[in-house]
Amino acid sequence: MASTRSESTLVSIGSPRRRAVASALATALLATLTPAAPATAATAAGPSSTQQAAAGPSSVRQAAAGTVKVRGQVNRPRSFTMARLRGLPQHTVRVRYQTSHGAEKHTFTGPLLSDVLQLTEPRIDPDVKNAQLRLVVTATGSDGYRAALAWAELDPAFSGKKVLLAVTQDGAKLDEEGPRLVVPGDVKGGRYVSGVVRLHVGDTDALDPA
């Protein structure tokens, strides 16, 4: 119960993850705009989205959030802006999941994670049977939060589910905090990583070379 209790304690003062993401964004913004200024004002007050919008031009906000780097076992490592993610074929999913603060029900839109990753050309050995099933993908948020998926889970042809890198939640753009991993079918919300800044494609052969 220890982990549940600590999560509940945080929840009692608000939404810890949103605060963490917003706080990281505000700190990055402050560092960009006023490098010498201490971040105490923004972190103590908890920045509102209005304050963030008023803080500077959109180019500054873009630099702080909304760009996803893809690295690892890929032939073409690259970054995706929110605009680029919106330019890919868009899918819509309606999902529900459980959190420490109750049940959540949301509609997300965005590209399939598999479509995003295919553009980076994951290295798959054609001489190994179902080599793609050996791959794992991690998604990391701006707060360092991370969750892993096996390749088969994010391949809609395999799992039958649409795993998204969502750019909207309930019709609202996620441009401020960045895209969100959406894993339909997950009972708990833990893999709905918010503010994704990095995707890593890994080969499990490196973990178990035998």
Ligand X SMILES: Nc1nc2c(c(=O)[nH]1)N[C@H]1C(S)=C(S)[C@@H](COP(=O)(O)O)O[C@H]1N2
- Which residues of this protein are in contact with ligand X, per CB under 6 A? 15, 17, 21, 99, 104, 141, 143, 145, 189-190, 192-195
Q: Which of 142, 128, 143, 146 is CA-nearest to residue 204?
A: 128
Q: Which does 141 bind (CB under 5 to 8 A by kind): ligand X, Mo ion, none?
A: ligand X
Which amino acid is located at 180 in the chain?
R
Q: Which residues of 27-39 are buried (b: 16+ CB within 10 A; e: fewer)?
A: ebbbeeeeeeeee
Q: Which does 177 bind (CB under 5 to 8 A by kind): ligand X, Mo ion, none?
A: none
Residue 102 or 171 with smaller CB distance to Mo ion: 102
Residue 103 or 157 with smaller CB distance to Mo ion: 103
Tell the residue number behind the tokens 């605060």, with chain if given.
Answer: 19
Please report how close the Cβ of residue 119 comes to ligand X at its closest, in angstroms: 23
Please report how close the Cβ of residue 88 comes to ligand X at its closest, in angstroms: 22
Please report how close the Cβ of residue 44 comes to ligand X at its closest, in angstroms: 20
Binding mask 173-192 toward Mo ion (x if CB under 5 A, else -) reads -----------------x--
Q: In sequence order, what are the residues at sequence separation of 6 or more whose Cβ sits closer than 8 angstroms to the Cβ of residue 55?
A: 26, 29, 33, 61
Q: How many CB atoms lie within 10 A of CB 8?
A: 12
Q: Is 79 helix (H, G, I), strand (E, B) or coil?
A: strand
How far is Cα 60 from Cα 172, in angstroms, rounded to an integer?
20
**151 phi and psi angles, rounded to 5 deg:** -55, -45
The partner residues of 182 in beta bridges, in order of sequence, read: 164
Q: Which does 46 bind (CB under 5 to 8 A by kind): Mo ion, ligand X, none?
A: none
Please report how close the Cβ of residue 127 comes to ligand X at its closest, in angstroms: 38
How far is Cα 200 from Cα 31, in angstroms, rounded to an integer?
27
Q: Which does 193 bind (CB under 5 to 8 A by kind): ligand X, Mo ion, none?
A: ligand X
Residue 85 or 193 with smaller CB distance to Mo ion: 193
| Paired tokens of 187 | 């009972």
Please report how close the Cβ of residue 10 comes to ligand X at its closest, in angstroms: 9
Q: Which of residues 88-107 bind Mo ion (CB under 5 A)?
A: 99
Residues that bind Mo ion (CB under 5 A): 99, 190
